[in-house]
Amino acid sequence: EYTELGSTVTNARTQNRELIEQILKLKKQNSELQILHKSATEELEMTKTKHRMIQQHTLYIVKKMASKLKEIEMQQSQTKNHTDISKHESTQIGKLISQVETSTDGNGELTKQN
């Protein structure tokens, strides 16, 4: 009876030691996982920050490009208006020259118009 009881106590102590070793291993793994989790969380936050910065910079570039495009469109519009005005002026000058030519004789003297 004592032998059986002694054997049971020995087995219980052995199992207890094994369980304590497993608990220590699990605690160590838990600590390692917590460190990895913290590191991953920090990296995720840095990535989110970089992403926000990239978005803000991209938005800035798009706004700047839109502004530049408007500026170019305005310049093109003004250039077109100046070209239209120049064509009109050129036509008017051509008409005046034609009138002057028809109002002069061969020697450049003015002729009387009716």
Q: What is the CA radius of gyration of the chain?
A: 48
Is the pTM of the predicted complex or chain greater than 0.85?
no
What are the angstrom distances between the C-alpha of 97 and each of 16, 55, 90, 107, 109? 118, 62, 10, 15, 14
The pair of structure tokens assigned to 21 is 């070793």
Helical spans, DSSP H, in the chain: 2-102
Q: pLDDT value at position 32?
A: 98
Q: What is the DSSP-derived secondary structure letter of residue 91?
A: H
State pLDDT tens for residues 9-51: 999 999 999 999 999 999 999 999 999 999 999 999 999 999 9
Q: Tell me the residue type at 9.
A: V
